[in-house]
Structure 1
Amino acid sequence: MPPDLLNGLDPDQTVKVLPRRLAGPGALDLHMVRPFPFDDGWHLHPADAGMLFASSPCARLWTRFAPEPEKRGKGTWTIGASRVPFGELTWQIVFDATTPVELLHDLHAELLDLYSDQDRLFDGATEPYEGYALLLDRGWNHNVKTNYPQSLLAPDLPGGVHQYANKATGRPEWGGDIWEPDWSAELSASTPTGLVAAFTASLVSTEPVQRAVKDLPVHVRQHLNMATPTAKQPPGYSPAASPATRPGKGRAR
């Protein structure tokens, strides 16, 4: 999508774009990110300085948002799980607050689904490779080097990189330039494969996300595909997304 197609639009006008990983964080709606049933035993704990902390009824699973507006990532989302209430972490996921909100939502929704069968939070039967199989199916390039992390690179580079390491340090992931990513995430090595798979599925989803023109990162606009622009909508408006089309020459996924 040539940048001038966006330059001719009102900055407050909304558009639907792909790929998701390059669309910017979007509007932070905490209820949308964490679809937890707080009226059914989930706890929302009071915290200072804008921090938000929630835990499951069994207190073995928790999620936290810590704003840090002065830092590049603008804060962190952290999900942790322990085999005993508030015990030593068994696994942990950490995201920059600049991660596209749709990716955060899809991961938390899968987390809630796993919680319905709590054994899957720690001893899931899903094979590790299934966490990344969809990326290979979508044409991501798999690079393997001796004594070096394996990497999965998006086919439409530059614009996004996904990397993981088969070691205890976990699996870092990011969107945007490899050296100056727009967002990053790290999933510890014991993270349930079901959560990894849910995240990668959201990462390559073909359902476009809605953004105001002014909120799209300028440095990646040439790598975005745009659906038909929509009129500026009032706060809270969230129409069902439609398949993206390319108005003119652009990069396809």
Structure 2
Amino acid sequence: MPPHTDAPDGDVHVFPRYLASTTGTGNPALDPLLQIGWDFHHDDLCNAFVTAPDHKVRLGYLPEGEDDGLWRITAYKDPFGPPVWGVCFNDFCPTEFVTAFTTALAEAYQQGPNRYLAGLGTTDKVPDPLPVITPLLARGWRIDHPHRDAFAVQSPDDLATLSYATGDLDPEAELATRETRWELWAGPPDRPYWYATASTNTPTVLLEAVTECISDPAPLPRWREETYSYVEGKAQLMPIRPPAPSPLDVQRAAIRRPATRPAASVPRWSTTSRPATGTRR
């Protein structure tokens, strides 16, 4: 099926992009999975559910869910068993970050279980954080050590953070709370503007796609009236200007332009001429 094109063109660019918030539509993040044949259905409340052909990965887009977990993605070794990894993006997370994850998930799924179920059976082993944090460090984020059981990587302006827990965690709590191996958020940790979590066995290749996207220096388009109050004084809002015409555009415009009248034929108004009609506003 062709991709949806309802992501906002926007009238402003928001920088840094982690202050852009959600686009308010789920289609861009669902498309990578639907395009490779994942099953789609929804309930009467407009919650959407997408399932892999082997039933080992499931995604829920839950605008009418019980909490603020808008996106929940879980993977299973046994389709009827408990999840082996889980990821959650809350309702204000920029949709582009979710799309980065689902795009990487679609690519990993096509490469086989060793790619999208990587880390199975290693709940007692702390995953190597280096592949995930490398894109951040390469773009000026810095490592902070809040306490011995975790460390954080913070954006240059201190407005976004990736937290990595190094201690032992409860696998069940990781799937249902913010007590997870990985947590990414913008704003203060106790009242984040948005957040995303990932449990221990989440393949690092999927999380690397998210950190690559969040640290991208390019701004994100948004409609000004749909930006949120926390942006004020923190994010830069830059008007989106139409692209400059190419030489071919100029040439086509010249061809379409009507011929100019000779100076002598330009009508001149007199006291008997009918006044020109004003432009409606």
TM over 0.5: yes
Task: Check whether the contact 1:20–1:208 (CA below 8 A) recurs between aligned residues.
Answer: yes
Give 1:238-253 correspondences, 5 Å limit.
none
Q: CA deviation at 1:39?
A: 6.6
SS at match of 2:115: helix
Q: Aligned runs of 1:191-202 on 2, under 5 Å?
A: 191-202=202-213
Give 2:153's aligned amino acid: L
Indicate if the aligned counterparts of 2:19 and 2:186 stay in contact, CA closer than 8 A: yes
Question: How far has the Cα of 1:145 moved from its partner?
Answer: 4.8
> Any conservation in 2 of the 1:42–1:57 contact (CA below 8 Å)?
yes
Which structure ranks higher in relative contact order (CA pairs < 8 Å, sequence separation ≥ 6)?
Answer: 1
Give runs of aligned pairs for residues 128-147 of structure 1, distance below 5 A. Answer: 128-147=129-148
**CA separation of 1:62/1:134 partners in 2, compared to 1, >3 Å: closer, same or farther?**
same
Task: Give the direction of change, closer, same or farther, for the CA distance of 1:37–1:108 in structure 2 (3 Å limit).
Answer: closer
1:106 paired residue among 94, 100, 103: 100
Name the structure 1 match of 2:263.
none
Where structure 1 has 5 or more consecutive residues not aligned to the other structure, the ranges are 1-12, 232-253
Q: CA deviation at 1:146?
A: 4.7
Asked whether the 8 Å contact 1:93–1:191 carries over to 2, the reply is yes
Rg comparison, structure with higher value? 2
* 2:60 is equivalent to residue 60 of structure 1: no
Q: How many residues align?
A: 215
Task: Give the C-alpha shift of residue 147 in structure 1.
Answer: 2.9
Deviation at 1:214, TM superposition (A): 1.6
RMSD: 2.5
Q: 1:34 aligns with which of 30, 34, 39?
A: 30
More off after superposition, 180-189 vs 38-47: 38-47
CA positional deviation for 1:230: 4.0
- The structure with the largest strand share of the pair is 1
SS in structure 1 of the partner of residue 18 of structure 2: helix
CA deviation profile, 1:23-80 (whole Å, cap 9, x unmatched): 121231x321112454754111332322111101111011001124896x4x420001
Matched residue, 1:15: 12
Give the alignment of 1:99-248 within 5 angstroms. 99-117=93-111, 118-123=113-118, 127-157=128-158, 159-167=159-167, 168=169, 169-230=180-241
**Structure 2 segments unaligned to the other structure (5+ residues):** 1-9, 120-126, 170-179, 243-281
Paired residue type of 1:111: L
Classify 1:40/1:81 alpha carbon distance in 2 versus 1 (closer, same or farther; 3 Å): same
Q: Is this contact kept in 2: 1:24–1:215, CA < 8 A?
A: no
Aligned-residue identity in percent: 26
